[in-house]
Amino acid sequence: MSGIRPRRPVAEQGLLDIMGMTSDEFVAASFEQGVPRGRALQAYRTMFREGRFEGDWFGIEDPPVNRREVEGQTTKFTLALGDDHETESVLIPMHHRKHGTTRTLCVSSQIGCAMGCEFCETAQMGLVRNLSAGQIVSQWWAATHRVDTTVKNMVFMGMGEPMDNLDEVLQSIRVLTDHNGPAVPSSNISISTVGRIDGINRVAEFVKQPGYHRLNLAISVNAPNDRIRSELMPINRAMKMSELQEALLAFPLRGGAAFCAEYVLIPGVNDGDDHCDELSRWLEPLRCSLNVIPYNPRRDSPWPAPEEHDVERFISRAIANGCFVKRRGTKGRDVMAACGQLGNPEIRRRKRVEGSGLVQPVVEGRSLKVDPR
C-alpha cells in the first residue's frame, strides 16, 4: 500500500479527504504547497485535538453534523458527505462498575452494504457506496468536536462490511491511532466482519505491524451451523464455518486477547438449546468471548425480538458449556440506532437540518424514553 496518499494539492481537497491523512502524509502534502513542516503539524494537531482549522491552505469548511437523534443516552448522528449521502454513527454509553460511564462510537464503513444478511436493516438498502478513510475518521471528529463527546472505544459495527472496503478502513485506523491526531489506542478499536476470510487474513497481516497488534476483531457468527448460517448470511454459501474457524485459528492473537464472536439471537431460528451446544462446540478451539445480541427487529421483520427468558436461558447454557459470555444491550432501538438498524429510509428521507449540533426529534410523535437496560 502506498505511503503518501494525497494526489491533489491540500488546498483543493475537502476536509473529509484531509482527515484521511496521517500526520506524516498531511505534513508532506502541505510542504509541497510551501507550508513549513512545523506549521502543518501544528494545524493537524489543532484539527484533531481542538476541532479547529487554522491553516489557510486548508480552504475548507466545517462538515455539517446534520442531525442528532437521542434515545436516553444513545445518540445517533449523521454527517453530510456533500453528495446527497450521509454517514450514520451511533454513540453508545457503556456503564462500568468501577470506572463510571464511557462512550463507544459505532462507525459506518460504507453507505448501505452488499452482504445481504436477512436480519439486518442496512442490507435492505444494498450497497450505495464505500466511505473513504477521511469520511470514516470524520465520524470520530464530529463525535468528539461537534457532538462534544469523549470517545473511548470505536467499533466498525455501523453500516457496511469493513472487509469490503478494507483499504479505506485500514487507512482510517492509521489516522485514528496517529499520536498527532485522534490518538485512539488500537486496543480500543474493533473491526466487525461477516467473516470474509480474505479480509481476516489481510487484517492478520496488518496487526503484525508495530503499533497495531492490539487491534480487536469481532466476527458475526450468528448461527450454530452452515445450514442456518447460509440462510441468514449469504457470505456463508461461499465461505463455510469450518474455513472461518481455520482463518481465526491462524490469526495472530496477542497474548491474553480474544476474538469477539457476535451472535444475534433470533427467536425460533438460532436460539434453541441444541443450537447453543453446537455453537459452543464450534467456539471451543477459539480464544473468544461470545457476545449475545438480542435481535432488534428490522422493518418488515419476519421475526420478533426474543423474549427475555429465552435470552437468559441461552446465555446460561452457553456459560454452562464453558463459553465466556457477554450480553449486548439493545440501546437505541426506538430510534433505529440499535445493532443492525442503521440505514432506515424513513429517517433518511426526513428533512435535513443544516448546521452543527442541531437536535431534531427522533421520530415525530413518538416519545423518547431511556432504554430499560
Instruction: Indicate the residue among 75 and 109 with the shorter CB distance to ligand SAH.
Output: 109
Which residues make beta-bridge pairs with 103?
Answer: 93, 151
CB of 296 to ligand SAH, least distance (A): 4
- Residue 264 interacts with ligand SAH (CB under 6 A): yes or no: yes
Phi, psi of 15 (to 5 degrees): -55, -40
Q: Which range, of 36-44, 141-149, 188-196, 314-322, touches ligand SAH by CB under 6 A?
A: 188-196
Q: According to CB under 6 A, which residues from 113 to 152 bind ligand SAH?
A: 119-120
Q: Does 194 bind ligand SAH (CB under 6 A)?
A: yes
Report the candidate in 168, 161, 48, 171 with the shortest Cα–Cα distance to residue 108: 161
CA separation, residue 66 to residues 235, 335, 351 (Å):
33, 16, 10
| Residue 93 or 234 with smaller CB distance to ligand SAH | 234
Cα separation, 233 vs 341, whole angstroms: 16
Grid cell 463510571 — which residue?
100
Nearest Cα neighbor of 47 from 143, 120, 145 is 145
Contact with ligand SAH (CB under 6 A) among 71, 262, 271, 334:
262
- For ligand SAH, the binding residues in 29-48 under the rule CB under 6 A are none
Q: Does 192 bind ligand SAH (CB under 6 A)?
A: yes
Distance in angstroms (rounded) separating the CA atoms of residues 106 and 189: 10
Taking residues 290 to 309 in sequence order and writing x for each that binds ligand SAH by CB under 6 A, - otherwise, the string is ---x-xx-x-----------
Shortest distance in whole angstroms from residue 337 CB to ligand SAH:
11
CB of 111 to ligand SAH, least distance (A): 13
Backbone angles phi and psi of 313, in degrees to 5: -60, -45
Distance CA 348, CA 339 (A): 17
Question: Binders of ligand SAH among 332-371, rule CB under 6 A?
Answer: 339-340
Q: How would you list the strands of the sheet with 259-265, edge to edge? A: 65-71, 74-80, 86-96, 100-106, 151-156, 189-193, 216-220, 259-265, 288-294, 324-327
Nine-digit cell string for 348: 433518511
- Say whether residue 193 binds ligand SAH (CB under 6 A): yes
CB nearer to ligand SAH: give 192 or 216. 192
CB of 267 to ligand SAH, least distance (A): 12
Quote the DSSP letter at residue 307.
Answer: P
User: Closest separation between CB of residue 205 and ligand SAH, Å?
Assistant: 20
Residue number, 212 or 295, with CB nearest to ligand SAH? 295
Residues 167-186 that bind ligand SAH (CB under 6 A): none
CA angle 196, 336, 288 (to 5 degrees): 35
Binding part of the chain for ligand SAH, among 44-52, 96-104, 190-198, 223-231 by CB under 6 A, reads 190-198
Quick check: helix, strand or coil at residue 60? coil
**Count of residues that interact with ligand SAH, criterion CB under 6 A:** 17
Cell numbers representing residue 96 in the block:
462500568
Residues that bind ligand SAH (CB under 6 A): 119-120, 157, 161, 192-194, 220, 222, 262, 264, 293, 295-296, 298, 339-340
